[in-house]
């Protein structure tokens, strides 16, 4: 029995070392994220933002807590099996309790210390279609230029091409219609707003 607890301790320690090297300590085993984008074009605004961040808190069952449980379970079980006269069932119960305490301490540390400084990212803050910007490097016909835009409180630039394959001079206000393969496909804002106004009147 002592050899079993020792093996669990060694495996738990090895996995803990791996988690620190790879940075997966806080990830749950079945964590799946799905991001939906929704946006609309409006003058002076970017894409539509959701009213709140879709963020799921850290789950108790994650790589860090599991490896911590294994180390505490294995270590306490090994000590109890080797240096005490407890029966096997009682040894396992004591080891399980110790493992849960260890996992709980690690979880508390992750949530109250590490998780306190984490800021959830809103995918809408990085969604380009519908974003307004200004051409900083002239976009030639069938060529690539550059657009400056503001998003999530930061001024950024992106390589841009004209969605209509026409030249767009520097300083022109444009709106991003699509973003793919590192290029923003833009169109002059006055053309887009004019078409929207015509459809409204029609």
Residues 110, 148 within the same domain:
no
pLDDT in the model for residue 66: 85
Residues 28, 103 within the same domain:
yes
Among 67, 88, 117, give the residue marking a domain's end.
117
Among 67, 94, 117, give the residue marking a domain's end.
117
- DSSP letters of 92-116? HHHHHHHHHHHHHHHHHHIIIIIGG
pLDDT in the model for residue 86: 82
Label residue 49 by pLDDT band (50, 70, 90): very low
pLDDT in the model for residue 106: 79
Residues 174, 109 within the same domain:
no
Over residues 171-179, mean pLDDT: 92
Looking up tokens 């078409």 gives: 195
pLDDT in the model for residue 52: 37
User: How many Å apart are CA 193 and CA 43, to the nearest integer?
Assistant: 8
Of 41-45, 112-116, 128-132, 170-174, the poorest mean pLDDT is in 41-45
Crossing angle for the helix pair 63-83 and 2-22, to the nearest 10 degrees: 150
Q: Is residue 163 part of a domain?
A: yes
**pLDDT, greater one: 51 or 191:** 191
Over residues 136-150, mean pLDDT: 92
pLDDT tens digit string along 73-118?
989 988 888 888 888 888 889 989 988 888 888 788 777 766 655 5
pLDDT in the model for residue 187: 92
> Total structural domains in the chain?
2
Residues 105, 158 within the same domain:
no
Q: Is residue 28 part of a domain?
A: yes
Q: What is the DSSP letter of 58?
A: P
Q: Is residue 123 part of a domain?
A: no
User: How many Å apart are CA 108 and CA 65, to the nearest integer?
Assistant: 10
pLDDT tens digit string along 187-199?
998 887 776 666 6
Vertex 137 angle, CA 134 and 142, to 5°:
100
Domain containing residue 185: 128-201
Task: Provide the percentage of residues in the chain whose pLDDT is more than 70.
Answer: 69
Q: Is residue 160 part of a domain?
A: yes
pLDDT in the model for residue 181: 87
Residues 110, 134 within the same domain:
no
Full-prediction pTM beyond 0.85?
no
């Amino acid at each position: 029995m002592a050899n079993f607890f020792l093996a669990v301790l060694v495996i738990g320690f090895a996995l803990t070392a791996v988690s620190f090297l790879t940075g997966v300590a806080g990830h749950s085993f079945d964590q799946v994220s799905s991001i939906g984008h929704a946006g609309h074009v409006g003058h002076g605004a970017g894409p539509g933002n959701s009213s709140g961040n879709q963020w799921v808190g850290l789950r108790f069952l994650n790589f860090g807590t599991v490896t911590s449980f294994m180390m505490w379970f294995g270590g306490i079980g090994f000590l109890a099996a080797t240096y005490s006269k407890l029966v096997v069932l009682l040894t396992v119960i004591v080891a399980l309790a110790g493992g849960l305490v260890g996992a709980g301490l690690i979880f508390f540390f992750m949530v109250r210390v590490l998780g306190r400084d984490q800021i959830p990212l809103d995918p809408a803050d990085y969604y380009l279609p519908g974003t307004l910007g200004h051409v900083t490097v002239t976009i030639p016909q069938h060529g690539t230029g550059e657009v400056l835009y503001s998003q999530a409180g930061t001024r950024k630039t992106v390589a841009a091409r004209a969605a209509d394959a026409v030249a767009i001079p520097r300083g022109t206000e444009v709106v991003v219609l699509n973003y793919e393969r590192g290029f923003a496909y833009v169109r002059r804002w006055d053309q887009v707003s004019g078409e929207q106004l015509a459809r409204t009147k029609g």
